[in-house]
Structures are given as C-alpha cells and as structure tokens.
Chain A
C-alpha cells in the first residue's frame, strides 16, 4: 500500500498573479517540538546552535519548535533525538502544524489587523519568535526578514487562519500560493 500526505490547504488554487504582498504556503516542512527541563534549556539551545542548520522557534521556557525545509520529518526527529539525547524529548509535529509565510511591503500593516504586538523592527526584531494570538487563533510567530513573517498554526486551524489572512490582506491584493513540492509549478 502507498499512502499520500495531503496538505490541509490542498485545493486552494493559488492566485493567478503574484502580488507584491504574498502569502506563501511551503508544501513540505519538517517541524518538531522539543521539550526539556527548565534547567537544561541552555544546553538545548547550545545543541541547536551546534547543529548549525536548524531553524529554532521559541515557544515557552523549555519548549521549542524546530524546522527543516530540507529534511523529512522522520529524519529531523531522529537527528534531534540523537543531538539532544538525555536532555530533551522530541515530538514530530510535521503533520500537526502548518507554516505560512507572509511577505511584502505591507506585511506589517496586514498583520496589525490580527496581531497586537508592536511589529516595528526595532521592537520585534528579525529572527525573533514567540507564540502569540493572531485574530482568534494561536500561532507561533517569527520575523524571518524586515518584511517577512512566518506563522506556524495548528493544522485544524490552518484553513481559518489562511482565510483570515486573506481577508486581512484584501486591501493590498494579497496573493497566495504553494511553494516547494509537486505544486510548485508557477
């Protein structure tokens, strides 16, 4: 038997034209939750740094999300488990979380319709991440560039967040589309 994984936003056709403000849906991202004792948190962060190529998101004291755009879920989980053996637990969340990437000159203005945090780059800096509330929905939120933000949302809420973001971006003709994987054909 062979089984296919279906992205929860599968079936959203994508915009005909890509606008300056764009909502990207990376099709395959490996995501894992890492949990540690508060007392081991510094060691875990050092471990992430040592690995070099891992993208780490803050969730809470002793809890992180780790992302990989190149590794498969099982590989990421295995590598993290080896890297953090005895100091942290690793839980695969690749199928339970959905990453959305919003970029463009108006990204901040779009997000301000749902996010109460001050998004001035001097306040919420590039590289910073945290869990927060966007509209009605809890997300992990990161600034991946001056005008680029990544939102990681629970799979069951993904469609609602996606529709909310499109409504927030309507004023700026926000476009959207998948990237990576099979559907990345324009």
Chain B
C-alpha cells in the first residue's frame, strides 16, 4: 500500500499494480488511476514549477481545468508535452517528466525569479525591455522564453497515426455526469440517435465521486447500471475519452477521441487520436461546474486544492490528499468533503468558513469549525505544513498537510459561448451562465446552474424529453431515481480573502496574483480583455478555466461595480488543447494530397522517366539514358532528336472538354477572344481566353468534330479553373445558350509524336491516310489504329516540328505508346519529357503560363491581330480596349540572346538599359522563360520589354539580383527556330 492510498474504496482495481515512472523514479498505481491520483497516492505532491516565478506547485484539481500539473508523457518521438496529469490515464510503463525546471524539480535555479518577484510584476516585460527596440527580438525575448517555459516540443517525426471521422446524430450530449446520463437514458429510450461524449476515460462524471446515494446505492453504481442499459441501445453511441472542444456553425461539433493515448504500445491499425466532426440536430451541454478556488495568501502551496478535487481523489481514486486536511470554504459544499474524508478515516484539521452566519452542521460534531475567518498565509516547503487564519484581528496557526478550498461554483459554459454569445451574470447564483443560444443547443444540470444531484438528474431528463418531443419522438415519463440526503450548495461569494500575508494567486499557471490585477486597473487596463493581456491572466494552457471568473470578480470589486459590468473574456475553441496530429488526421505523406497520374505513367516508368510534380500531377520530366549524368544532357539529347528524327511525349494531362449543343459554336465564340464560330468540321484552331479585365487567362486548342460538337483543350495547370469558368459562363451569364459540356481529361491517353519523321511513325500505326494532302496542318479526326482501335488524331504542334497528337482510350495508352516506340525504332524515336517540351516550345517562341502570368494582354504576347474585332461580345472584349492595356510603352514579348554565347540568362531576371542603376523607375522588363538551346548552342530567353517589338537588335542588361549577375543580351524576335514555320506544314 502506497503512503496515501486509502485502505479501501474508490473505482481503482486494487488487484492489479501498474508500474510507471515520474522523473525517473519508479512508482506503482492501479488501473482506474490518473497519473495525478497515482502520484498523490505515492506522496509525490510536487509536480511542477510555475511559469514565471518557478514556484513549487502541486495538484489543484482532479480534472481538465488543472493549471499546475503539466507534465511531459512518453519518450523520444512519442513525447506529449504539457499534458495534464489529472486527466492522463495511468498505464503500465507510463513515463512522465516534470517541466520548466533546471537542474531538477526539487532544486530549480529559476526559482530565483521568485526572489526577484517584487520587480516581476504584471507588465514588467513590456516596460523593461522596450528599448532599444532591436534588443527585444535578439536578446530579451529569447532569454525570457528560455526562462519561462512549458514542455518542449519534440522535433522527431511523430510515429503515431491519426484520423478524422464524421458522425451524425439527433442529439449530442456532452458530458456523462448525472444530467448527461439521465438525458441519454430519456433520449435513448425514446429512439433518438444519441451520441454521448465524455472526456474522461470512465463515463459517469460527478457520479463517480459523489457520495450521495441513488436508489439506495452509491452514485457510481447508478452510473454503471445506466451505462449498461445505454450500451444495449443500438441508437446510442457511447464515446468515452472524447473531448468535445468546439461548437461550429450549423450545430457541428469538433471532438477529439483519445483512442490509444492510454497504452504504452499503440496498435498499428488504430489511430492514437481521432478527430470527430459531429453533425447534431440538437446538442445538450451537460458539462457540469467547476469549483472555484479561493484567492488567499499562500494559496499556491502544494497541498492546496479545491475541496471537490480532494473529494474526488478520496471517493473515486481511494487516495487521501493529506493526513490532516483543512477545509476552507464560503459555502456548504466544503462540509460534504469534510464528511467524506472523515468517513474514509482522514483527519480534518479544521473547517474554516468565511461566513460568520454559517448554518450549524450536525454530523461533524468533533471537527473544529471556525466561522467568519479567512486563511491569510500558508507555510511549508514542497508540501504544505501549516496555515495561518485570521478572525476578528486575531491570528492563529494550524498544522495541516492539505487544504481543500471551496469558493462556490462556475458552470462550464464554454462551448455555448464559442459562437459569439456572451455569458450573462446571474446575481442569484453569483456566476456567469450561458445565455439562450437558440434551438440547436441546450444546457442541463450543473452547467445550467443546478448544483444538486436530484436537480441534475431531473433537468437532464426534462431537457432531453423536450428535445425529443421537438424532433417528433414520443417520450414516456420515467420515474426519477431516489436520491439520498443532499447538501444545500449555496455559498456566499468572497472574491478575495483580505489580509493576505503572501501572494494570493488567481491564475496559477501564469503566476498572476491579486495585486497584479490591481496594478492593471491602476494603469488603465481595467477592461477584462485588457487586464487579460496586461497580466496574462487566463492566457495559459488552461485558458482561465479556474481563474477567469475570480479575475472578473476581483476587478469588479476593485472598480466597485458588479461582475456583470466587467464581463468575462471570450471563449473560443478549443476547450482543451488538441494535438496537431489530430487536426492533420491522415493528411500527411501520400495522403496529404491526391497524386494524379497519367494513363502513360507506367509506360514512362518503364522507360526510366524522372517525374516532376506539376500541381497534383506527376509528369514525366526527362528520360535519362545510360551515360547521361545530368538532366541537361538528357534534355539536350531529347530536343535534338525531336528536331532531327522524332520523339514521343505524354500530353495526357492537358484539360480536355467535350462541348455539345446547337449554340456550342456561339458559346465558344463568346468564350475565346478569337473567332471560333466558323471553324470547319475536322479542323483545330489555337484559342486564347481572356479574363473579363482583358488580360489573358488561358490558351489551348479548339477542334470541331461536328456541327454541334467541339472538343477543347486547356493547359494542365488551369484545367479545373477553365472548366469552372465555362460552367459560370454557361450557367450564369448565358443560360439561354443551348450548350453542355463534360470533362474527358481522364478518358484519353494523349501522346504528341513530333519531329520530321513523325508522319512515317504515325502512318505505320493507323489505317487512315495522313499524308499532308489528306491530313494537312491543323486537321483533326477519328482514325482507326491497325487492329481496329478507334482513336483521335490532331495535327497540332507545340514544338514547331511536324507533329501529331494521338489520343486513345486511357487504358490502351501504355500498349499504344509501346507500339509507337516500336514503330519509331527504325526512325530513331525517343521518349521526351516536360523539360525537352519546354526547350522545344521556347526555341519556337511558343508561350506558356510563364508568359501568361496574369499581367499580359494578347497584344503584349504578339497575338494582337488574333483578337476579333468583328465579334459583338466575348469575355474580356470591353476592358481589353481600355487605356493602359493599349498604351504604347507596354512591355511586349521579345527574344533574348546573350551577347557572349557562354553566358547564362535566367527567368525572373530584370532588364535594364546599359549603365542604368537597378531601380523600379529604370526597370525595362523581365525574363519570363529561359533555357539552353541545344540547336543554337547558347541560352535563349523570352522576355517582356517596354515597347519591345521596336527594339530588336538593341543590347540590354539582364540583371539577376538573386545570383548577383549582369549579362549583356541582344533583343530579338521571339522565335529562334524555323521563323517561317516551314517545318510545321510539310
């Protein structure tokens, strides 16, 4: 038996021992323990050092609001920092470490801060480290951050897996205490789809620690029986270890389920945490209430806890918080804790009641009860030893090793106020309650201000019945369980115990004490939100769960107003911290984003392709051969081979859209800036799309297969955008046009076969005559491959060479590509990738989105004459003629060649007149694309230059700020190979 484990009682399995370590020391606990209860049982009261003063700290609570007992759990990559020991379920092999101390928890050098504390008042950092400004970032902040810290994040890769999941229900009940359980029973029996979420690993909430009898048994027996019934109902889902952390629009709740945080070795096929999005028709908050700490001198010494925490450790975990416990209370609840402890055989040093008119209590006859008194100081090192109380000017010291403080109750209303509703002050209950937030969410039990067990049970059932009836379910009234003798929960608020002889803490984790709030007020930060930022009250990981209402009360007292006027700081998601892993879910590595693969991907792999990610697509970039050591060697070879022989390139990723309808021609005519209506059947045409502001949006080809049937292609990058744009035009702008379309991008494997020998290769593949006469430049048609497969053939070129694009149903792509390579072997065919494609188009002066970068007009890129003047309307027509888009000194596309052949030109470089200093005013333009041309043997570039078309032959400086290089270049026409396009049309 460990030092503070009670001989009997509690919901822990005493037949089994669990070994665990804290700061390297081995301890034992039981299944059913939290790390906190097990440490407490082992007399390990000191658990942490405070954030600012490094003061020794122990447990304050037995639940989620714990401000002090933050530890790191796990080891190596599996370390979770800043975990509250009070909610960490104990398991065999658990390893925990304390935080924010050096060299150890017991002897922490940082505690010197405590001696300096007269200087470390609220706002100290802001005032002291203001000047000189540069010192803040470089010196002060790093030092402060090192001194004042929490746990350390692990830099190793998280080995765990996480996932996300949706669920839908009629009623989500948050919290499985008396109100939640009785609501679940009522709703479950009525047939609603119920989700009952409980953040604890054991469901039952306050029933697990309440000593009041229900139906003649302990409350926990009632909880167990209720849960057993709920488990039999197929319409009820019980979700233990699940924290509902946020309430979002349309009654969607965010919740995190800790699936495997309580095991030493997680099972690989299960996530450790699961993030739930719960879409609930209705929700019922049965989140209970927090007991309020009392703000008195020395209230942060290890051993000072809330009375309900002491009660919970005794009743639920069978652990005594001390051997001689003092109760400090302003209401009747503290007496119940004292009675519980006495029943467990724990000594009560005294009950100190702030009320002089406290009612007499019968069953505590042997206990010393001191009324109208307040604790003003405590003594002890790493555990409390004595307290000093004051009554009517008279002080007395009492020996005790724990204090249970009971300052009243704060309903847990956070979720209800996360969507903008402000808590409202109840002068009747002396606390903040949630306002009516509308039909989607109701509040029951202690969270609604009902503090007795019978009231919670009744309220839960009643609210659930109302919801069930609203949703159209028939409810049968069940007999309420018989509840034993209850304590009147009333209290007399005391925000601050006067006469403090040492610091009286409000926010334990951030070391904010009552005088800090006074300072904030004196310096003009009396508004609750200002006070929060000035003092950091409520900014710690616990987000002011214990301190928020006390801070409001203290500020109200200082300002001489009601807390209603002070208000409370804003509640935002998340209610308790959520790991990044859970928020990311499965979205990492291969699941982070879909990988789109071309139907020729396998073919490219077999041909040794190196792939590049282009958006979601993985595209073949180059096809290295033995002996080639760099991508440039490979690309140069591929380019020269296409120019001299023939090559095959995968162009399946281009967006492909079938367009139908009697108005299809008119629709395309309005969509593109050039004329499309009279495109003959069996022909393709280059198409340029503008944005409504007159700037180029995308380019592609338009082919006509029938009177009312077109086929358009888009660039790979804007395929989705262009489809959406077309849908907008068809649905919203011109709904009266008879036009329909659908994407067939994925239906076709499309390969470009380009080079002087392309015809020989393609002709060997197909039955149809594709001679220059039968199938001239820009012809399109359905052809039959030898063997009978139907395909589409387009005589279009993006290389300047004689070229065909052959499209076959996607599944046949690899088989056909293999056959093309086979047919081309005698002609020296090679596979070529995106890099070679880019060089080929650059040599020919063809544009991509490197040129169409959202600033360029058709005329800028040399397409001015293509824009139709005849068409009455098309997207971008009106604004393309506006001043600014037609100015004479606009940047126009030109070619660049380095003056010295071995010099490099890089995309992104700016253009300057020779001798001009680099400046915005002197900027003449920029390089949009550049590459080495293996045909010419030197770099070439496309650039945009002011009035560029008038400046062919001029020498200009190419200024690359990133590489800090200047290169002289000659401005030329933006076409480097076959300027008359003779090769295209043979």
Asked if A and B touch directly (CB within 8 angstroms), the answer is yes
**Which A residues fall within an 8 A CB radius of B?**
1-8, 10-11, 33, 35-37, 62-63, 73-74, 89, 91-97, 109, 112-113, 115-116, 118, 120, 123, 135-137, 154-157, 159-161, 163-164, 167-168, 170-171, 173
CA distance A156 to B656 in the complex (A): 13
User: Is B814 an interface residue when CB atoms closer than 8 A count as contact?
Assistant: yes
Please state if B740 and A62 are interface contacts (CB–CB under 8 Å): yes
Q: Rank and list the top 3 A-B pairs by shortest CB-CB distance, nearest first.
A: A96-B747, A5-B811, A96-B746
The answer to whether B597 touches A159 (Cβ under 8 A) is: yes
- Given the contacts A3-B785, A120-B193, A155 and B742 also touching, CB distance less than 8 Å: no
A136 touches which one: B271, B593, B599 (CB < 8 A)? B593
Which residue of A is nearest B658, CB measured? A91
Q: Give the residue of A118, A154, A163, A167 whose beta carbon is less than 8 angstroms from that of B279.
A: A118
Known: A156-B596, A171-B270. A3 touches B591 (CB 8 A): no
List 20 A-B pairs, Cβ < 8 Å: A1-B785, A4-B815, A8-B811, A33-B742, A35-B742, A95-B746, A95-B747, A95-B812, A96-B745, A96-B746, A113-B163, A116-B277, A136-B587, A136-B593, A156-B746, A160-B594, A160-B596, A167-B591, A168-B163, A168-B586
Q: Which residue of A lies closest to B594 (CB)?
A: A160
Q: Considering the complex, give the chain A residue whose CB is closest to the CB of B595.
A: A160
Determine the chain B residues whose CB is within 8 A of the CB of A95 once the complex forms: 599, 746-748, 809-812
Q: Do A163 and B590 have beta carbons less than 8 Å apart?
A: yes
- Closest residue of chain B to A62 (Cβ to Cβ) is B740
> Shortest distance in angstroms between A153's beta carbon and chain B's nearest beta carbon?
9
Whether A112 pairs with B745 at a CB distance below 8 angstroms is no
Given contacts A3-B808, A167-B163, 20 further A-B contacts (CB under 8 A): A1-B786, A5-B812, A6-B602, A6-B811, A35-B740, A37-B740, A97-B746, A97-B747, A112-B165, A113-B165, A137-B594, A154-B745, A155-B810, A156-B597, A156-B746, A157-B594, A159-B595, A163-B591, A164-B594, A173-B269
A115→B277 CA distance, assembly (Å): 11
**Once the chains are docked, how many angstroms separate the CA of A181 from the CA of B765?**
27
- A92 adjacent to B814 (CB under 8 Å): no
Q: Are A96 and B193 in contact (CB under 8 A)?
A: no
**Contact A154-B746, Cβ < 8 Å, known A5-B811, A163-B591:** yes
CB distance from B213 to the nearest CB of A (A): 39
Cβ of A63 and Cβ of B742 under 8 Å apart?
yes
B645 at the interface (CB under 8 A from A): no
How far, in Å, is B867 (CB) from chain A's closest CB? 31
In the bound complex, CA of A5 to CA of B786 (Å): 15
Answer whether residue B725 sits at the interface, using C-beta atoms and an 8 A cutoff.
no
A2 and B744 form a contact (CB under 8 A): no
Asked if A4 and B812 make an inter-chain contact with CB atoms under 8 angstroms apart, the answer reads yes
Determine whether the beta carbon of B740 is less than 8 Å from that of A89. yes
Question: How distant is the Cα of A171 from the Cα of B270 in the complex, in angstroms?
Answer: 6
B80 is an interface residue with CB less than 8 A from chain A: no
Which A-chain residue is minimally distant from B597 (CB atoms)?
A156
Of listed A3, A4, A8, A93, residue having the most chain B CB within 10 A: A3
How far apart are the CA atoms of A167 and B592 in the complex, in Å?
Answer: 13
B660 at the interface (CB under 8 A from A): yes
B78 interface residue (CB < 8 Å to A) = no
Interfacial chain A residues near B808, Cβ < 8 Å: 3
Q: 1/0 contact trace for B346-373 toward A, CB 8 Å?
A: 0000000000000000000000000000
- Alpha-carbon distance between A148 and B660 when the two chains are bound, in angstroms: 35
When the two chains form their complex, are residues B166 and A115 in contact, meaning their CB atoms are under 8 A apart? yes
The answer to whether A3 and B747 have CB atoms under 8 Å apart is: no
Across the two chains, which residue of chain B brings its CB closest to A156?
A: B596
For the complex formed, measure the closest distance between the CB of B719 and the CB atoms of chain A, giving whole angstroms: 11
A155 to B814, CA, bound (A): 14
Q: Which of B705-763 contact A (CB under 8 A)?
A: 709, 738, 740-742, 744-748
Residues of A within 8 A of B961 (CB): none
Residue of B271, B596, B660, B747 near A157 (CB, 8 A) is B596
Q: Does B816 contact A (CB under 8 A)?
A: yes
A3 with B787: in contact, given A155-B599, A159-B595 (CB under 8 Å)? yes
Determine whether the beta carbon of B789 is less than 8 Å from that of A3: yes
Residue of A nearest to B785 (CB): A1
